[in-house]
């Protein structure tokens, strides 16, 4: 190609020796071939030497197409899996560390960094600016076609309230504000009032117009006391003990103002105690090194019986209820949460159902799935539904991305009573399981999922079932690491040692994903921490061997490449 600007710029010729060209070509080929070669050898050896469910071999997976998927769907799924594969984590984490700690102070897809080191959940911000629960999103060709039908929270709450009204039960919606509503100044938006979604007034007014529904909006009360004490954690999604205790007092005073009979009990506090944690938003940033300091709070544990399933007052909640009360994954200690302090102010225990990330549907499903729940609900007075305003005001697309779904629930029509088993051993075949999310994209670091099984043989004990089907809860991932149980396949037969899932108190508040319609949930005792730890140790040993084999393979390939390059240079000479 000739230079069209010869009059102003003369031609420049660059001469490179064959040896220099060969060296440059060799370096280029190494850069583009050795990393993927290393990864494929590493994953292949790991899969051959273990049953690790987390192995994903790019060179193999691209040719493994589900018969139900088209080529386009398969390639799209392959691309998504490639983006979230484990080997992409170290470089992504390194880049995030540089962005978060550098002058840009840039967050990621889950966490935003505000002024003075305050961190904010991205979906919390989305809930203040989107279309909301009243207006429908406009149709768009760019919308992800994999998103299924989404039901508005307004419709779901109306139907749930109608169900409760038939039982003679009142519904109290407690709307818990998100951090940017109370602390907008750390996002550069100082205001004299809390920041609200434009449709909040219409939304709450509509709910209050229903026969048996009332709404407690905590945004203004918490905004008023923030000048005296911090009501939200700086590095966590949730409120401080002070903010939570203010909410507990408001809810308890509301209950006292009603003519609802409830059990009395003697509850005491054990004094203030210091608690500290980095916060879930720091974990979501996923950076190397000590980028943030521990945050410390003073919590007040409550001593005595604060939870009683026979109470006439039901509290449904999510992680805002669990924090300071259940330390399974939130890392802020026990016995000092919202339910504990409502009971303390009330002078009586509550019937409590709480699930991290399950405030919209899972807690209602758990309530409805109790044996004989339809008859039991007629003995209740009220349902206090404490739910974050983020879930209430996210519009369709961000809600689906955040896995916030609003579904109707159906109450169990059987006679009330305990499940018939304490333990049983069965042989069963898995019938269905939900699609599990990428653990790197979710809010919480642990997830359980429910799978439907058909019982083929009862080896010992007795299981209460309908149509010989049961729902079994399994680990999906823990500490954002997929566990072997996440890889169970539909049609597989398994021997399981079952107990009612309600007996697993330390797991009941973890985020759960189940899309079936069965009522009875069981836990497989085979999935013990000992087995998980043992498998993890085996996987660590296999990883060391796989690194050695992959390094040797890449070294051999590099030597072959050197030999080939020498032959080419010699041939050209």
Residue 524 β-bridge partners: 498
**Residue 481 banded pLDDT, cuts 50, 70, 90:** confident
Domain assignment of residue 116, yes or no: no
From the number of C-beta atoms within 10 Å of its C-beta (0-12, 13-18, 19+), residue 401 rates as middle
Output the CA–CA distances (angstroms, integers) from residue 188 to 79, 105, 180, 192, 279, in the order listed. Answer: 37, 14, 11, 13, 22
Report pLDDT for 133.
86
Q: Which of 104-108, 115-119, 344-348 shows the lowest per-residue confidence on average (mean pLDDT)?
A: 104-108
Are β-strands 111-113 and 119-121 bridged in parallel, bridged antiparallel, or unpaired? antiparallel
* Least confident among 11-20, 137-146, 557-566: 137-146
Mean pLDDT value across residues 265-271:
87
Between the alpha carbon of residue 362 and those of residues 172, 318, 325, 554, the distances in Å are: 17, 9, 19, 48
Identify whether residues 78 and 206 lie together within a single domain.
no
Residue 267 domain flag: yes
Separation CA 252–CA 346 (nearest Å): 5
Q: 566's torsion region: left (phi>0), alpha (psi -120 to 50) or beta? A: alpha
d(CA 239, CA 352): 19
Q: Are residues 162 and 264 in the same domain?
A: yes
Domain count, the chain: 3
Using alpha carbons only, how large is the chain's radius of gyration in Å? Answer: 28
Task: Flag whether 114 is in a domain.
Answer: no
Helices (H) and strands (E) in the chain, counts: 18, 18
Is the same domain home to 332 and 188?
A: yes
* Rounded Cα distance, 465 and 13, in Å: 82
Any idea which residue has 């070669």 for tokens? 37
Domain check: are 487 and 572 in the same one? no
Strand-pairing partners, residue 405, are none
* Section 234-261 average pLDDT: 95
How much is the pTM? Answer: 0.80
Task: Give the start-end residues of each E strand in 300-417.
Answer: 302-303, 313-317, 351-354, 382-388
Contact yes or no for 377/339 (Cβ under 8 A): no
Q: Give me the pLDDT at residue 238, please.
A: 96
The predicted pLDDT at position 533 comes to 44
pLDDT tens digits, 421-464: 678 899 999 999 998 887 877 888 899 999 999 999 999 888 87
Residue 281 CB contacts under 8 Å (≥ 6 apart), including other chains: 110, 111, 119, 120, 121, 235, 236, 237
Which pLDDT score is estimated for 439? 82
Instruction: Work out the percent of the chain whose per-residue pLDDT is above 70.
Output: 86
pLDDT: is 51 or 12 the higher one? 12
- Report yes or no: 316 and 386 within 8 Å, Cβ to Cβ: yes
Same domain, 293 and 323: yes
Whether 475 is covered by a domain: the verdict is yes
Task: Tell me the CATH number at 440.
Answer: 2.40.50
460: in domain: yes
Please compute the mean of the pLDDT values over residues 249-267 and round it to a whole number: 90
Residues 496, 381, single domain; the answer is no
Which of 38-52, 82-96, 102-116 tops mean pLDDT? 102-116
Same domain, yes or no, for 367 and 444? Answer: no
DSSP state of 137: P
Minimum mean pLDDT among 71-85, 176-190, 242-256, 321-335: which range? 71-85
Task: Identify the three-state secondary structure at position 127.
Answer: helix
The answer to whether residues 228 and 273 belong to one domain is yes
Residue 179 in any domain: the answer is: yes
Report the Cα–Cα distance between both ends of the chain, in Å, rounded: 26
Burial class (CB in 10 A: 0-12, 13-18, 19+), 189: exposed
Residues 433, 396 share a domain: no
**Residue 435, both tokens:** 């699609």
Inside any domain, residue 100: no
> In the structure, what pLDDT confidence band is assigned to residue 99 with cuts at 50, 70 and 90?
confident
Assign 565 a pLDDT band (cuts: 50, 70, 90): confident
Contact 477, 446 (CB under 8 A): yes
Beta bridge partners of 270: none
Full domain range(s) for residue 494 = 424-527
Residue 188: inside a domain, yes or no?
A: yes
State residue 71's pLDDT score. Answer: 78
Same-domain status, 438 and 395: no
Region 479-495: mean pLDDT is: 89
Same domain, 302 and 275: yes
Mean pLDDT of 240-257: 96
Do both 271 and 355 map to the same domain? Answer: yes
């Amino acid at each position: 190609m000739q230079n069209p600007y010869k009059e102003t710029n003369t031609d420049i010729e660059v001469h490179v020796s064959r040896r220099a060209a060969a060296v440059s070509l060799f370096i280029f080929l190494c850069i583009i071939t050795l990393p993927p070669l290393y990864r494929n050898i590493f994953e292949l050896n790991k899969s051959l030497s273990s049953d690790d469910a987390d192995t994903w071999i790019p060179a193999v997976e691209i040719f493994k197409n589900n018969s139900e998927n088209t080529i386009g769907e398969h390639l799209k799924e392959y691309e998504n899996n490639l983006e979230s594969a484990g080997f992409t984590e170290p470089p992504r984490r390194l880049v995030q560390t540089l962005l978060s700690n550098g002058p840009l102070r840039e967050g990621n897809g889950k966490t935003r960094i505000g002024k003075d080191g305050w961190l904010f959940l991205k979906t919390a911000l989305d809930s203040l600016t989107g279309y909301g629960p009243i207006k429908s999103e406009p149709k768009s060709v760019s919308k992800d076609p994999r998103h299924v039908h989404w039901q508005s929270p307004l419709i779901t709450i109306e139907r749930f309230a109608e169900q409760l009204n038939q039982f003679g039960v009142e519904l109290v919606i407690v709307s818990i504000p998100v951090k940017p509503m109370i602390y907008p100044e750390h996002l550069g938006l100082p205001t004299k009032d809390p920041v609200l979604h434009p449709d909040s007034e219409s939304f709450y007014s509509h709910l209050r117009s229903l026969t048996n529904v009332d709404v407690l909006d905590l945004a203004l009360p918490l905004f008023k006391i923030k000048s005296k004490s911090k009501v939200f954690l700086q590095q966590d999604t949730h409120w401080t003990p002070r903010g939570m205790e203010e909410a507990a007092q408001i809810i308890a005073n509301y209950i006292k103002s009603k003519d609802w009979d409830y059990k009395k009990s003697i509850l005491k506090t054990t004094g203030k105690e210091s608690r500290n944690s980095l916060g879930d938003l720091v974990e979501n940033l996923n950076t190397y090194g000590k980028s943030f300091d521990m945050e410390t709070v003073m919590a007040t544990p409550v001593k005595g019986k604060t939870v009683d399933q026979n109470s006439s007052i039901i509290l449904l909640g999510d992680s805002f209820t669990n924090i300071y009360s259940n330390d399974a994954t939130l890392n802020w200690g026990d016995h000092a949460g919202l339910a504990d302090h409502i009971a303390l102010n009330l002078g009586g225990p509550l019937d409590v159902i709480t699930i991290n990330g399950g405030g919209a549907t899972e807690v209602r499903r758990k309530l409805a799935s109790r044996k004989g729940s339809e008859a039991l609900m007629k003995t209740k007075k009220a349902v206090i539904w404490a739910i974050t305003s983020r879930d209430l005001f996210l519009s369709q697309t961000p809600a689906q991305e955040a896995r916030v779904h609003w579904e109707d629930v159906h109450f169990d029509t059987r006679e009330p009573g305990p499940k018939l088993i304490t333990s049983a051993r069965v042989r069963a075949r898995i019938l269905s399981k939900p699609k599990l999310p990428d653990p790197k994209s979710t809010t919480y670091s642990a997830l359980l999922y429910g799978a439907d099984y058909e019982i083929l043989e009862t080896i010992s004990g007795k299981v209460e079932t309908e149509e010989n089907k049961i729902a079994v809860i399994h680990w999906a991932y823990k500490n954002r690491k997929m566990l072997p149980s996440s890889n169970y396949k539909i049609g597989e037969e398994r021997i399981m040692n079952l107990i009612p899932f309600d007996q697993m108190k330390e797991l009941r508040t973890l985020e759960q994903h189940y899309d079936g319609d069965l009522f009875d949930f069981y836990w497989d005792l085979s999935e013990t921490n000992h087995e998980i730890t043992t498998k993890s140790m085996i996987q660590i040993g296999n990883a060391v061997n796989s690194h050695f084999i992959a390094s040797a393979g890449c070294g051999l390939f590099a030597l072959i490449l050197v030999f080939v390059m020498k032959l080419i240079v010699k041939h050209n000479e």
